[in-house]
């Protein structure tokens, strides 16, 4: 797994332990869950995409399908991720294998001052301005997230 060849600048920081979820990562970094970038690999009948949303939101697969004009959109399986050189908890848009894929970025991400995400390792992370994602060669911006349900 390789980190992007200077698509944009960031510093790699370390955690004292492995984290797998956005909630765990935000807690370990002592940042708002909103600022933890949730990147998901999606399989669609239009191809594979990386969806980037804020950590406190759910992916809105209906919105993704409508935007792409796709009949199907679902989360990549563990085997699909393995073929890309990643696993659950290490999906990051800055990894070369994922940076090469078309990217979907939910509007909420670009409104933030900063985002943080792993750098392909469970115990390392980066922080950057979300507008850096605009440097991607095939980027699509839209409303691809929905609010998490509140417990009753």
Domains of the chain, start order = 19-145 (3.90.960.10)
pLDDT tens sequence across 77-130 = 999 999 999 999 999 999 999 999 999 999 999 999 999 999 999 999 999 999
Residue 6 has pLDDT above 50, yes or no: no
The pTM of the full predicted model, rounded to 2 decimals, is 0.91
> Which residues have a Cβ under 8 Å from the Cβ of 132 and sit 6 or more positions away?
7, 8, 10
H-type alpha helices, 52-100: 61-68, 78-83, 96-99
pLDDT band at 152 (very low <50, low <70, confident <90, very high): very low
pLDDT of residue 1: 52
Tell me the pairing of strands 47-54 and 37-44: antiparallel
């Amino acid at each position: 797994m390789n980190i992007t060849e200077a698509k944009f600048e960031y510093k790699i920081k370390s955690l004292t332990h492995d984290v797998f979820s956005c909630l765990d990562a935000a807690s370990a970094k002592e940042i708002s869950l909103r600022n933890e970038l949730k990147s998901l690999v999606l399989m669609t009948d239009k191809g594979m995409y990386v969806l980037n949303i804020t950590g406190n939101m759910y992916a809105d697969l209906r919105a993704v399908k409508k935007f792409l004009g796709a009949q199907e959109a679902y989360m990549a399986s563990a085997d699909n991720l393995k073929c890309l050189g990643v696993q659950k908890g290490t999906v990051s848009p800055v990894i070369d294998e994922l940076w090469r894929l078309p990217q979907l970025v939910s509007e909420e991400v670009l409104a933030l001052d900063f985002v943080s995400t792993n750098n392909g390792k469970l115990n390392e992370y980066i922080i950057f301005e979300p507008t850096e994602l605009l440097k991607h060669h095939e980027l699509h911006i839209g409303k691809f997230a929905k609010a998490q349900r509140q417990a009753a």
